[in-house]
């Protein structure tokens, strides 16, 4: 059994990863200040959270009907979907997942979009809808400046994507050009949206109180509904509708220093080892792409300081693996072991076997490993709860539903609770909130945006026809 002093030493060692109340208050204040800057036309250039205008201003009623196509690009897989909206908030969908290899992630933009168009073509032929000329919504989950619903200029790649000749280009035009290069493929791309927007829309489809969308997966980001009068950068021609969804792009929060007081050497190393140094700082502290890496770095130092595996025969071998194999601990592990209640630590032992080829690990080392993982996940959940509180308070509705998606949120049994810990502290007492798991926001959300755009278009067309009569 570990002595109490050993555990106290580990607790002290991890202390810098356990935010104090004061640190969380500062995080809240810094985040709210960045949002204000992001919304302002003069201050936007200095903001880390750019608060991009999405041009999504119409919300689903639940009565949407019709067949739509959706593309979903933004994580480790690429998906094509055929979605049949049936009214009454009902929908049926067929999804096909295509692998994205390192080749696609690091090709040129034209090659990437040719690959996407090829998959799309195969899919519509397989589903026998190649002659139907359907509206398509494209969930493209990277920071983009939008100038309309189907115009989006890529600002930067994130999450390990790095296709050349794409940053600064109009993603909508690139997709349309790739579709045009395939004879026989007729698709009407009507909207580009972020996965957070898709998530908010898919939840709003079932519950109109949903005014925030959150993703905690490979990447992390949120969007929310803002009043048009608070959007200085929005052209007045869009101000006849009362609201607009803002894509906060909070993954970039911290690039102007807002999280320095919580930034540890481990975070610094994760950033230094990444392909986008200095960028997406908040995302690197909280999202699925990086949390396993943080655990690897923390564990390595803990082993070197004799805090874990101190008596283990394979100690040297474990240190070697932790040193030489970046990403040897996947974020998935943090969720898998969270349910290990510690009778015989079967789940932690399984991880030790896979990663270090270690059999019969010492129960104390298992407990300590679980503690390290938990500290990293809790920090993430607590920090996200704080920034979410900023949005709930900004929305200022008596009741807000937060639509959520992403593997970390879905798979980690305590993540929701860790977010609520800080939400309960930072959300204004006049406001109530709840979380709602999205049903495939990236797919259904894209179809819903396509549907509301289509509805709007049809309404305007019939109005014009009446005016001409």
In what helix (H) or strand (E) does residue 302 lie, and over which residues does it extend? Answer: helix 288-304
Q: Is 20 a catalytic residue?
A: no
DSSP 35-65: HHHHHSTTTGGG-SS--EE--------S--E
- The binding track of 72-91 with respect to ligand BGC, each residue x by CB under 6 A or -, is --x-----------------
Which residue of 142, 253, 309, 433 would you call a contact of ligand BGC, by CB under 6 A? Answer: 142
- The binding track of 343-362 with respect to ligand BGC, each residue x by CB under 6 A or -, is --------------------
- The binding track of 91-130 with respect to ligand BGC, each residue x by CB under 6 A or -, is ----------------------------------------
Span of 43-51, 162-170, 213-221, 446-454 interacting with ligand BGC by CB under 6 A: 213-221
Which residue of 26, 37, 50, 159 would you call a contact of ligand BGC, by CB under 6 A? Answer: 159
Q: Number of helices (H) and strands (E), helices first, in the chain?
A: 16, 13
Q: Is 389 a catalytic residue?
A: no
Can residue 146 be called a binding residue for ligand BGC (CB under 6 A)?
no
Can residue 249 be called a binding residue for ligand BGC (CB under 6 A)?
yes
Distance CA 72, CA 69 (A): 10
Tokens of 43: 């201050």
CB 242 within 8 A of CB 227: yes
Distance CA 143, CA 154 (A): 6
- Using CB under 6 A as the binding criterion, the count of chain residues that bind ligand BGC stands at 17
Distance CA 54, CA 245 (A): 6
Can residue 405 be called a binding residue for ligand BGC (CB under 6 A)?
no
What letter would DSSP give residue 161?
-
Give, as ranges, the residues between 172 and 201 that touch ligand BGC (CB under 6 A): 194-196
Task: From the candidates 141, 202, 287, 442, give the one annotated as an active-site residue.
Answer: 141
Task: From the candidates 26, 79, 296, 420, give the one annotated as an active-site residue.
Answer: 79
Name the residue nearer to ligand BGC (CB basis): 215 or 376.
215
Task: From the candidates 72, 195, 340, 374, give the one annotated as an active-site residue.
Answer: 195
SS3 206: helix
Parallel/antiparallel/unpaired status of strands 188-193 and 210-216: unpaired
Distance CA 375, CA 308 (A): 15
Can residue 215 be called a binding residue for ligand BGC (CB under 6 A)?
yes
Q: Is 170 a catalytic residue?
A: no
Distance CA 194, CA 181 (A): 25
Can residue 219 be called a binding residue for ligand BGC (CB under 6 A)?
yes
DSSP 239-253: TTSSEEEEE--GGGT
Catalytic positions: 79, 141, 195
Judged by the rule CB under 6 A, the positions of this chain that interact with ligand BGC are 74, 141-143, 158-159, 194-196, 215, 217, 219-221, 249, 251, 283
């Amino acid at each position: 059994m570990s002595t109490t002093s050993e555990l106290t030493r580990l607790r002290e060692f991890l202390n810098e990863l356990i935010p104090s109340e004061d640190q969380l208050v500062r995080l809240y204040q810094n985040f709210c200040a960045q949002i204000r800057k992001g919304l302002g036309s003069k201050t936007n250039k200095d903001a880390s959270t750019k608060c991009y205008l999405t041009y999504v201003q119409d919300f689903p009623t639940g009565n949407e009907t019709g067949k739509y196509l959706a593309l979903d690009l933004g994580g480790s897989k690429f998906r094509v979907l055929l979605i049949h909206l049936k009214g009454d908030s009902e929908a049926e969908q067929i999804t096909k997942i295509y692998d994205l290899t390192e080749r696609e992630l690091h090709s040129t933009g034209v090659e990437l979009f040719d690959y996407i168009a090829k998959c799309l073509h195969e899919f519509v032929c397989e589903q026998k809808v190649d002659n139907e000329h359907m509206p398509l919504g494209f969930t493209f989950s990277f920071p983009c400046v939008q100038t309309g619903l189907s115009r989006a200029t890529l600002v930067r790649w994130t999450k390990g994507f790095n296709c050349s000749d794409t940053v600064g280009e109009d993603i909508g035009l690139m997709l349309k050009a790739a579709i045009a290069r395939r004879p026989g493929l007729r698709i009407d791309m009507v909207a580009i949206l972020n996965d957070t927007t898709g998530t908010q829309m898919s939840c709003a489809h079932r519950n109109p109180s949903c005014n925030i969308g959150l993703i905690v997966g490979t990447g992390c980001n949120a969007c929310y509904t803002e009043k048009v009068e608070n959007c200085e950068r929005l052209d007045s021609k869009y101000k006849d509708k009362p609201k607009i969804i803002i894509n906060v792009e909070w993954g970039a929060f911290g690039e102007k220093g807002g999280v320095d007081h919580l930034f540890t050497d481990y975070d610094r190393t994760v950033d230094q080892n990444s392909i986008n140094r200095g960028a997406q700082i908040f995302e690197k502290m909280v999202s699925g792409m990086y949390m396993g890496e943080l655990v690897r770095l923390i564990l390595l130092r803990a082993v070197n300081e004799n805090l874990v595996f101190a008596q283990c025969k394979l100690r040297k071998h474990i240190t070697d693996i932790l040193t030489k194999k970046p990403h040897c601990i996947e974020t998935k592990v943090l969720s898998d072991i969270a349910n290990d209640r510690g009778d015989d630590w079967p789940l932690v032992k399984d991880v030790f076997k896979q990663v270090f080829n270690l059999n019969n690990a010492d129960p104390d080392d298992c407990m300590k490993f679980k503690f390290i993982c938990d500290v990293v996940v809790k920090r993430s959940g607590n920090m996200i709860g704080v920034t979410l509180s900023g949005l709930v308070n900004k929305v200022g509705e008596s009741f807000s539903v937060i639509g959520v998606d992403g593997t970390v949120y879905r798979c980690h049994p305590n993540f929701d609770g860790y977010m609520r810990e800080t939400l309960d502290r930072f959300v204004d007492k006049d406001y109530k909130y709840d979380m709602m798991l999205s049903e495939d926001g990236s797919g259904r959300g894209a179809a819903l945006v396509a549907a509301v755009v289509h509805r709007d278009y049809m309404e305007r067309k019939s109005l014009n026809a009446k005016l001409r009569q």
